[in-house]
Structure 1
Amino acid sequence: MSRAERLLTLVQALRRRRRPVAGAELAAELGVSLRTLYRDIQALIGQGAPIDGEAGVGYVLRPGFMLPPLMFTEDEIEALVFGARLAATRADERLASSAENALAKIAAVLPPDLADRMDATGLIVAPAWNANRDGVDLSLVRAAIRNETRLEFSYVNEKGLASRRVVWPIAVAFFERVRVLTAWCELRADYRHFRVDRMSDAVDLGVRYPRRRRVLLKEWRELEGAAPAWREVADAADTVPVPRRKSA
């Protein structure tokens, strides 16, 4: 790789770590000698990178540093464009518009040749097939997830049974035809999955739920079979609970 690419890779390697990392570890990750790594560290510091540390102790990059102009590999450019186009066909209108705006901002600061490649990428995302319309404004659901606030809505399961729920929303899965909300349901006192097209009359109660979303999400992910249950519920009801570990 070129020196410019190596410096960018080094910045990314430092950004991924919150604690000091040894020079030898960074050198091994980049595939360079320790002497080259030390020279690269000094070069970045000379360009204004807020790197703390020293040889034999370790290095850490203080938050907030960007290395202009933005540089991406061809694969990274295709990933950005693909993700934005996927959002345009799978996400709600506001999120789709935000994805397009983000791409425009990135293109504005890229070197001309890389900006041209964004327009010329050959990856195309087909429209969602036979997609079901959302029963509620998904941007409201996403806001409740970000703010960690209780969400109340009416829900009709696949048997036609209606209920009013208050949940602690933690994530939304985007499938080809439906979106599925994962949440802690106060009615069931457990994790449940809700198809968004079966929800209606949603209200963000504006009241934070008692546990942090990150903790809830980690707990949900650790449940045995939780991820498969998330996918299967796209064609099922919230009456299917998240599988639990069997006791010894």
Structure 2
Amino acid sequence: MRKAERLFQIIQILRRSNRPVTSAQLADELEVARRTVYRDIAHLIGQRVPIEGEAGFGYVLDPRYDMPPLMLTAEEIEAVLLGVQMVAKLGDPAINTAARDVIAKIASTVPDDLLPFIAEPAVSLKPGEVMDSLTLDSRPIRRAIREGRKIELEYRAANGAVTSRIVWPVLLGYEDARCLLIAWCESKQAFRHFRTERILDLKVLEETIGLSRGKLRQQWLQWREAELSRSRRAL
């Protein structure tokens, strides 16, 4: 790893941590000697990067410190490219277009020496089938999730029965060849997983859920854990 990349990575490590990071931890992640970490920290401090701490205690970065938003390393670029390949398999045109737009923005912003990592990345997914179960536009669902709005669904169950439901959307989940809308169902008074290929029609309502997005998600996570515990006990 070049020194410039190493210095940038030290800042990244400190920025993502909410507690002091020791020189040993930095050396382990960067795969360098601790004396190299000491020199790099001294260099950053000399360049007015607001790092506080000392050897044996750990280092912290002033949370108000900021860097150019797209100072990416080769590893970070390849991680994004791998994510884009995964997104392409979901079969969601809107999400796929957004992912490709991200790559275009990165390519137009990073230095020329990083462009080869976009054109010829060192990582790739095995070619395979694209998920074909997402037969509706996911954008209204995702907007409803972000804005905390209820959704009215016309849904066809496995037995063919069609019902109308009002749900509180939590998230869109992708599993194997299926896409699921995870939501609280008002009629069932419980969380349900709706297969998107069975959604015949949907309408985002003006009425809000009345519960914060984080709180609703937490309740779903608790419900899911209870369901998993019940399943394990049944085995």
| TM-score range for the pair, normalised by the shorter chain length | 0.7 to 0.9
1:109 counterpart SS class: coil
Amino acid at match of 2:140: L
The answer to whether the 8 A contact 1:223-1:245 is kept is: no
| Structure 1 length-normalised TM | 0.74
- List alignment gaps of at least 5 residues for structure 2: none
Look up the match of 2:188.
188
Superposition deviation, residue 39 in structure 1? 4.4
Change (3 A) 1:245 1:94: same
Cα distance in 2 for partners of 1:169, 1:43 equals 49
1:90 counterpart SS class: coil
Cα distance in 2 for partners of 1:69, 1:191 equals 39
Change (3 A) 1:165 1:47: farther
Look up the match of 1:70.
71
Superposition deviation, residue 103 in structure 1? 0.3
Cα distance in 2 for partners of 1:120, 1:163 equals 49
Alignment of structure 1 residues 57-206 onto 2, 5 Å: 58-62=59-63, 65-67=66-68, 70-73=71-74, 75-121=75-121, 123=124, 125-128=127-130, 131-134=132-135, 136-206=136-206
The answer to whether the 8 A contact 2:82-2:124 is kept is: yes
Change (3 A) 1:64 1:178: farther
Cα distance in 2 for partners of 1:137, 1:164 equals 19
The answer to whether the 8 A contact 2:23-2:38 is kept is: no
Amino acid at match of 1:12: Q
Amino acid at match of 2:79: A
Cα distance in 2 for partners of 1:220, 1:133 equals 23
**1:155-192, CA deviations, whole angstroms, 9 ceiling, x for partnerless residues?**
11101122111112111122453310111111111111
Look up the match of 1:53.
52
1:171 counterpart SS class: strand
Change (3 A) 1:222 1:12: farther
Look up the match of 1:218.
218
2:155 counterpart SS class: strand
Change (3 A) 1:42 1:222: farther
The answer to whether the 8 A contact 2:5-2:73 is kept is: no
State the identity %: 29
The answer to whether the 8 A contact 2:156-2:199 is kept is: yes
Change (3 A) 1:150 1:25: farther
1:77 counterpart SS class: helix
Cα distance in 2 for partners of 1:58, 1:152 equals 51
Change (3 A) 1:64 1:53: closer
Superposition deviation, residue 195 in structure 1? 0.6
Amino acid at match of 1:70: M
Across the aligned residues of Structure 1 and Structure 2, the Cα RMSD in angstroms comes to 3.2
